[in-house]
Structure formats: structure tokens, C-alpha cells
Amino acid sequence: MCGLLSLLTSDRDAPDRADAASSALECAAHRGPDDGGTWHDPDVVLAFRRLSIIDLEGSHQPLHWGPPDDPERYSIVFNGEIYNYALLRAELVEQGVVFATAGDTEVIVAAYHHWGAAVVDRLRGMFAFLVWDSRDRVLFGARDPFGIKPLFWAAGPAGVAFASEKKSLLALAPELGLDAAGLDTTALQHYLVLQYVPEPATLHRAIHRIESGTRFTVRPGGEPVPERYFRPAFHDRTGSGQAVHRRLADVLRDSVAAHLRADVPVGAFLSGGIDSTAIVAMARAHNPDLITFTAGFERAGYSEVDVAAETAAALGVRHVVTTVTPQDMMEALPLIVWYLDDPVADPALVPLWFVSREASRHVKVVLSGEGADELFGGYTIYGEPRSLAPFERLPGAVRAALGRASARLPGGMRGKDLLRRGALPLEQRYYGNARVFRPDQLAEILRHHDPASQHTDVTGPHYRASAGWDPVARMQHVDLFTWLRGDILVKADKMTMANSLELRVPFLDPEVFAVACGLPTSEKLAGGTTKYALRRALQGIVPRHVLHRRKLGFPVPIRHWLRAEMYEWAMGVVGDSGAGHLIDLTAVTRMLDTHRAGPLDHSRRLWAVLVFLLWHGIFVEDRIRPSVPEPVSLGHRPSAQDGLFPPDVTSSPVRIR
């Protein structure tokens, strides 16, 4: 797990820009505190920061490789892990390839030489990488199927650059001749609706993201030519019953075993839910000394700490708990937003940052349960097509009339939202797993609200790609391309890497997806529960108190805190903001006061605005400057037994100017 940067110049002046590229990568030093390097030829600069996980003494990057007649033809920078690299390596050895390292990076570049762009179809893992071909003068790159690892890019008169962190490209903008100051107001509007900035956009108009499941080539003077290589499809092919459940358990065991491969200590996150519990139970079979980590709050009803502790005891693993207070959140949030690059209005990322910080004191790798809900039907909203089925049988005119009737009902009245959603087709009512601001609410706070910009601009292509599928499968498909890669995986990558910790997600594995994508709806939603097939597959593997437990979803008590402990802080964030030309700050203040008075709950909308205002204060106004801790390198990272941690690890000082 690492940080990379590449600059492909337009005028063969890469040597003159190498120092600037290396310097721009320093703001991503937390992604790779153990090692680093910069290399260039006349056209390209490759820079790298490494978090050493496999082949600790070898596999330095940028790594050079080539056939015997041209031994340094290719140069690669690679962020991620390839879990089947040993199998690919053996196959390449049979073809005569000689390897100089014991890691997965060299396998990727050798495989690219032999298989070309099709190499991405053979990789089992998470990745974002760039390979420079010095003979053909072309840069080839790719991002993993689900978008676990990030890759940003920007183009200016001096060339095109790629990086693991958007901050690096902002730092490199003058070298590119790029005006990076302009904000994308359409992306801002989408953020306030969806609580994340949807790919491929960022809030900076000049900087973009390579989409998940995409490979590309780019030549000097050009821009990336992308090609989607991963087109997921949910179809009823796998079947149902005990044989499928056994197959699912087997493929999960295999994935967890593959994800445990490391030359450093590996732990796991553990909540009260079935997903992380399954990962821990299967991992412990390989590592009896596994350490698990969880975070919680002191407020009743907002913590899974007790359940996680019970689970850890039942599985016989050592367990470490982190408790997060409202004061912790207020102090750490500016620094957390700096790490994010773009705002994500998911309060759960704050405790994730704290638990990652604690985990990094014990291990360098953690396993986690992200992706299970999207693959196996774990969200309760997936039951909506069944509950709204009676509306589907009504004539269109009747449904439209019900929609108009719902609009006239008082806010908060029982049944109002049911009528509204029942009147809409799936493509209009399902945004993905979050909807923060409604259009009428957006118009009240956005200075430049564009009614023509709708959530369907984001979700529409994914609905078209899934036309004719079962409604639940269509919702899963939309979530794979929106919620999962926009919220879940962004916060997972950013919060763990902020603490120089590698997070691995065994559910988001090609072999697991091959089983999950063929499950019928009856294996997702049945018997009044979600993830039916997964629960059946895990019988006898996870403790009974977890097996049929309802999903809590890691709620954060911001509804209560914004009425009490965090109210004055929130008022200060709004009052100090220089984003009044974008957001009606007076309207936000009214919303905050209304929320405080109750009974209306504006917490999610307030949180989205507050996170954006902090982001604007950091990245646009340069008014808020979090004090970023120095990352801890492999050679200086204390062990869990030492009990001694440098001050910059145990605290997160934040200075606001």
C-alpha cells in the first residue's frame, strides 16, 4: 500500500521537473513512510512512497524490468496488493521469465510484457499502477475493478500527471501550467445530494479520477484514453440451496486466506455485524494471535463495542477498543478532511480514523468487511421493490396522482414518503444508499442551484446498463458504481492510509463476486432478513449472537451532539467560513438553530455542509491549516508490546488560523 505520482511531459523536459514531482508527493508521505524513490527519462517522471508489506528488503519502486535484450524497458509504480501474484509468477517462470525480487510489483510488469493490457483481467487484488514503456514511449495504467485504490489525474500545457492523492496534483499544478483553482459547482451539488463527489469528478474542475475497473494508455502530449475492462453483471445463475451456501463459504475462506499474505503483522476491524465477524472468524483459523479493533461511543444505542467484545471473546482473539467523544471529533475533523482530498459527509469516517490510528500501533495491515452489503443484498432498502410492488400494478395516472397527493401532506406525516416513493419508478426514487438534500432543500442553501442537474445524471448510465434486471440487482449495480466507490471505499482508503495502515477487503474479490453476482433475490432477501445466502453460509462459523443480528450501520450520534456538545463548534465553522458565495450561510445557521430546538432532525444535512465548509477553508481559502503528523516509518514504528509511542502518533494536533 503506497502513494504514487507520475508526470508525463509534453516537451521532453522531465529531468527539469523531477524535483517538483518528488516534492509534490511529499504531501502523501503518510501513504508510504518506509521507502521512496524518484526516476525519470526525457519524457516521464515516476515518484513513489512505499508502505512495505511484502518483500520488505526488495521490490523498491520505481521498479525497472525488461526482457533479456532490453532489461530496463519498463518502469512501474504500483499501489496495492496482488493476492495471486505467486501463481502468476510461477506461470511466467514457465515462460522463461527471470525475477530479481520476491514481491508482486515485478510480477505485474512482467505480466504486462507478456499479456499486454489483458494483464488486468488476470490480477486478483486491489491496485492502481502505471507502467512506462521506454521503447514504445507509452504509459499504461489501470485501477482495480471495484475502485479500492484511488488514482487522480490532471492535464495542463506541460503534460499530464497522475497521483494517489489529489493534494499531490494541486501541489504540482504550477509545474503543469494548470489553473486548479476553479471549483466544479455541479460536483458540489451532487455532493450535497449524495454525500460524496461521484466519479470521475472531483470538486476541483481541473482534476479528475480514473474510474474503477478502467485501464488506459497515454502518450507524451496527450491525455488518457480509457477503456472499461470490468462490467459487473448481477444475473440469476448461481442457484440456491445448501450447495450454493457451501460454495460461498469455501470461496470466502479462500479469499480471506489470500488476503492474509503479508510479511508484517495483520489484524482486523471488528464491529457487531456479520461481515467483519465472518472475516475475523476465518482469519483466526490461520492466525490464532489475530488482534481485532473496534471504535464506539459512550452514548447508548450508538455503539457496537459490547457486541464486538462478546464476539472477540467467543472467537478467542485479542480485542482493542477505541472510544470517540464529541471533543475528539471536533479537534480531529479538520485534519481528517485534509486527508480526504474531497469532502465525504459520512460521520462514520471519523471513528474509522481513530480506530485506524489505534490499529497502526499494533499492526500494519487490517482486514475489513466492506463490500458485503453491495454483493449480498445487505441494505434494508433493497426490500423496497417488494414493499412497493402494489404501486407497480397501478396505472401511471393513478401513481402520478398519489405523488401529487403526497406533496400536499404535512412534513413528517406517516405515509407521506411511502406515497411519494411509490409514485416514482425505481430509476427516479433510488439514488443509491444516501440522499441528503432534496431539490427544494438544495435551492434554499445553494447560491447557484441548477434545477437541471439531477441525481439521474449520476445514476442514469448504471440503470441503463442494468435494464431488464431484477429491481434488487439493479439497486446493487447502482451502489457498486456510486455508494461503494464514492463513500465506503474512499473513507476506508483515506482513513487507514492517513495512519500508514493497509486495509484489505476480502469480500471485494473477483472469486467472491463470481458467486455473489449470480444469486437470485430469494438468496438475498428471505425470512425477514438480508444477506440470506451469506448468513446460511456462515452458520457454524460466526457466533450465534451475530448470525441474525440486524445491521446497525455504525451510526454516529451527531443528531444529539449538534444539539448540545457540538452546537457552538458548528456555529463557529459556519460563522468563520469564506464560502458564502457558494452556500447561504444564514440559511445554514437557521437550519442549525431549528435542529437544536427540535423535533426536526437536520443532522445529516448539517454535517454535509459543515464538512464542505471545513474543506473549503482548507483547500480554497487556505485559512484552516491542520497540523499534519509526521508518518511513522517501518524502522521506527513501535511494537504493540513496547507501550511507547511517539507524540505525533498518540495525538492529532490541529491548528486553525
pLDDT tens-digit profile of 340-382? Answer: 999 999 999 999 999 999 999 999 999 999 999 999 999 999 9
Domain spanning 2-228: which superfamily? Aminohydrolase, N-terminal nucleophile (Ntn) domain (3.60.20.10)
Q: Is the pLDDT of residue 116 over 50?
A: yes
Cis omega (within 30 of 0) for bond into 385? no
Distance CA 52, CA 31 (A): 10
Residue 633: is its pLDDT beyond 80? Answer: no
Q: Cα–Cα distance between 133 and 441 in angstroms, integer?
A: 51
Q: For this structure, is 2 an active site residue?
A: yes
Report the relative pairing of strands 74-82 and 63-65 from DSSP bridges.
antiparallel
Which of 633, 626, 630, 636 lies closest to 657 in space, CA to CA? 626
| pLDDT of the residue at 476 | 98
Residues 6 or more apart in contact with residue 627 via CB below 8 angstroms: 335, 653, 654, 655
Cross-strand pairs, 267: 366
Q: Which residue has the higher pLDDT, 467 or 400?
A: 467
pLDDT at residue 540 tops 70: yes
- Whether residue 492 has pLDDT greater than 90: yes
| Share of residues in the chain with pLDDT > 70 (%) | 95
DSSP string, 360-403: TTT-SEEE--TTHHHHHT--GGGGHHHHTHHHHTS-HHHHHHHH
pLDDT in tens, 546-592: 988 876 656 799 999 999 999 999 999 999 999 999 999 999 999 99
Nearest 5°: phi and psi at 378? -95, -5
- Average pLDDT, integer, range 108-128: 98
| Length of the chain (residues) | 657
Return residue ranges of the chain for CATH 3.60.20.10. Answer: 2-228
pLDDT for the residue numbered 420: 86
**Active-site residue, from 2, 7, 24, 176:** 2
Q: Over the stretch 75-86, which tens digit does the pLDDT of each residue have?
A: 999 999 999 999
Residue 634 has pLDDT above 60, yes or no: no
